[in-house]
Structure 1
Amino acid sequence: MALVDYPSSDEDESVAVEDLPCSSLKRKRDETSSDLPPLPSKFHDLYASTTRVSTRDDPSLHGGRKRVTPHVEGNWPTHLYIEWYPSAAEYVPLTSLISTLKDKCSLIGAEGGIRSFLISDLGAPLPLHISLSRPIAFATEQKGAFVDSLQRAIKSSGVRPFNITLAGLDWVANFEKTRWFLVLRLRRPDFDGLNKLLHLSNKVVQEYGQPALYTKIPLNTKNSTGKSPSKKFPSTLWAGMEDLSDAFHISIAWTLTSPDPDLLKLTKAIATDHMKGLDQIQIEIGELKSKVGNAVTNIPLPKAVSVGKGLFGS
């Protein structure tokens, strides 16, 4: 991760971070974090990429992970997603959940190398994601037009900012079954914002010849569970939209081995205890992100007309 040097506002506090003991760093964060406002979304995008250390797929550089989409020179890996930076208070129950699972797994010999998405190797909190696309790739001449098309689709959709809540804990595999993810399931929000954003994302990526997410059959038939859509969407914009509410999730940990029955049983028991606190979390959704290569574009959801103002702001 690239770092930016900032001049110190106090010469007396010019001690290098690496020279401070971990306990001092933790205490300093605890003393100040609760008083600081959250950083703007675009700040985190400055550090959304890591330095390339190899020109080929080398799983040893990524904890054993293998590249899902082979790298092709001239193609830009692309991902559409919603980003969530949990607050300090929200990180506590999430961290506790993963720590409890890993501790109990080690006792029964079933941990299987569970790794957290919550904290980086340096101890920094990491953002979590709700995916709205599969890993896809665009040629150089397509990527600009694709982002423009997505921005227009979101702007004209009428999908307003909304909140989502957590519904449960589960394990899911990626498409290739090379990794398994510990995920937080999501409740269907008011006005069906997640299904609508997925529907728009799928429509745009398919217009550019890319595969849709969570569906392998035409959008106007059945969903990924084999059931007919449970809700009709009369608007032309939402024609053919499926109810894929059961598919949305936030990954909080991962492993390279398929969870065995003992791990699944243990996960279910831990979820019963920990979800009592997690189900109170309200996640505000106000934008989605398009990451093409290392360039992140924030696409805000259109907001309602401000109170006290007319349609044209007068």
Structure 2
Amino acid sequence: MSAGPLVGYSSSGSEDEAEDEARTRPATGGCRRGQSPVPSQRFPVPDSVLNMFPSTEERPEDDSAKHGGRVRTFPHERGNWATHVYLPYEARDEFLELLDMLLPHAQTYVPQLVRMEAFHLSLSQSVVLRHHWILPFVQALKDRMASFHRLESQPKVA
């Protein structure tokens, strides 16, 4: 806060002194005579308000153990959504038996391999979408896929 005089008087009409007076006179903020000026000092923001939202510097913890062993291929950024297009796959007993047989052999080369709970066939790589792009993206995908016949797996009868 500046320690300027409350009232500045000019002894002459020179422009230099008028400029000095304007610099040292406290701003009235357009107040009328008899009203007190609005204080230029701001009140401190309470800690409860400051702690309501996490800092923009904080990044979510990337713990692959919490996500089925998946590893992020690009850094997280607030407002971005990792998106991919896929077809779900319902694993039959034959597939699961083959997986149980192959997994131990594969783990000798890549120890962090684990069996997933659900399976899918990826039709795209992961891409980043901003939040406001999600609905237009889904609609465009639906429009493009509408002309294709729906594929449904039929159980084989032996």
Q: Which is strand-richer, 1 or 2?
A: 1
Decide which structure has the larger Cα Rg and report it: 2
Q: Which is helix-richer, 1 or 2?
A: 1
TM-score by length of 2: 0.49
